Structure formats: structure tokens, C-alpha cells
Amino acid sequence: MQQTTPSQSQQPQKTGARTAGLLILIIPPTVLFLTIVSYSLIYFVVSAVGASLVIASISSMILGIVGMFAVLGCLIGIPVGLYLMTKGK
């Protein structure tokens, strides 16, 4: 029978916290960047094709909401992500 030491039982928790912290740091800025790129692409396509303004306004509203959540995620995620990454040290 193999006994686990305290350092062996804490190792997955440290890497899990660091991984979660890294994801929390990376995902919101990436979503914000993709939202801005999607917004510009949609308006380029709508202006080139001459589609109705209803499509543009609905997509603008949806991307605006996604952008707000991404900004909130950045504001909350940066301190939380840094805390989780440094917690194991």
C-alpha cells in the first residue's frame, strides 16, 4: 500500500489553481478581441452587401452585450487570475 505525502496531495491543487488562473487571465481579453473583430466584420459585410439595418442593429446589440461581459471579465478576472496563479507559492 502506498502512502501519500502532503506534498503529493497538494500538487494537483496547485496546478489546478494555476491553470484556472491562467485561463481566467486569457479568456476575457480574447473574447473582447474577437467581439471587436466580429463587430467590424459584420458591419463591413452589411455595408458591402447592402443588407437591412435590422440585421446590423440586432448583431450590434448582441455583440455589445458580449463585449460588456468581456470587459467585466477582464476587470474581475485579472486580479482573480493573478491571485490563483500566485496562491500556490
46 in any annotated domain = yes
% of the chain residues with pLDDT over 70: 82
Q: Is 59 within a domain?
A: yes
Residue 4 lies in a domain: no
SS3 content of the chain, % helix, strand, coil (to 5): 90, 0, 10
- Tell me what pLDDT residue 85 has: 84
Instruction: Answer yes or no: is 50 within a domain.
Output: yes
Cα–Cα distance for residue pair 31/17, rounded to 1 Å: 21
Give tens-digit pLDDT for 40-67.
888 888 878 777 778 778 888 999 999 9
pLDDT at 70 over 60: yes
Q: Is the pTM of this model over 0.75?
A: no
- Mean pLDDT of the 16-41 span: 88
Express as a percent the part of the chain with pLDDT over 90: 27
Average pLDDT, the chain: 81
Domains: count for the chain: 1
On whether residue 9 sits in a domain, the answer given is no
